[in-house]
Amino acid sequence: MPFIDVIQHENAEGRLKEIYDDLIKTRGKLAEVHKIQSLNPETIVAHMDLYMKIMYGKSPLKRYQREMIGVVVSANNHCAYCIKHHAEAVLFYWKDETKVKQLSTDFTQLDLDEKDALLCQLAKQLTQKPNFEGKAAFMEKLKSIGLSDRAILDATLVTAYFNFVNRMVLGLGVNLEADGGTGYKYD
């Protein structure tokens, strides 16, 4: 149960109702992570704008890689809500439940290609200790395997975004939706 008041869709009025209705239309349904911001509706709009640009905008990173990073960050923060939501998204791309489950527990045990493994490692390192030792050398390694500066920026933005959302979800007690957090549009 959330630690603060939340305005449900059926009780929403004015601008909040417009925002909720738009989310249902564009995303397929209304998530608890959006409703937790209901007392300050414009933050939902800003949040979704940032989310859509980082997760769906033009990027050298593939969609599954961005979702994969989100799962790694959320696993490191023990955010079951975001793990569930974004593991579902990875599953949409990977079509392998066992592999997705392993991603959410210990990605190092997966047979990922070098780029994906290093993207996961970057997400873990930036989540656990943002100023980790050897960062300059690690960034050079990312570049040496063909990741552009833009790809590294985008991976860092995804990592930062999920750390932000994990803290909101965990800090305010956001619970998983009654349907288990499924049924969203992933592409």
Task: Please report the pLDDT score of residue 3 as a whole number.
Answer: 96
Angle at 156 between CA 111 and CA 140, to 5 degrees: 70
Residue 17 lies in a domain: no
Q: Which residue has the tokens 């007392």?
A: 39
Q: How confident is the model at residue 27 (pLDDT cuts 50, 70, 90)?
A: confident
Residue 157 lies in a domain: yes
Residue 28 pLDDT exceeds 90: no
The predicted model gives 126-144 an average pLDDT of 96
Task: Please report the pLDDT score of residue 62 as a whole number.
Answer: 98
Cβ-contact 101, 91 below 8 angstroms: no
Residue 47 lies in a domain: no
| CATH number of the domain enclosing 85 | 1.20.1290.10
Residue 93 lies in a domain: yes
Quote the domain boundaries for residue 120. Answer: 63-171
Q: CA 17 to CA 176: how far, in whole Å?
A: 21
Task: Please report the pLDDT score of residue 18 as a whole number.
Answer: 97
Task: Please report the pLDDT score of residue 186 as a whole number.
Answer: 54
Residue 111 pLDDT exceeds 80: yes
Residue 33 pLDDT exceeds 80: yes
The predicted model gives 73-77 an average pLDDT of 98
Report the number of distinct structural domains present in the chain.
Answer: 1
The predicted model gives 174-180 an average pLDDT of 83
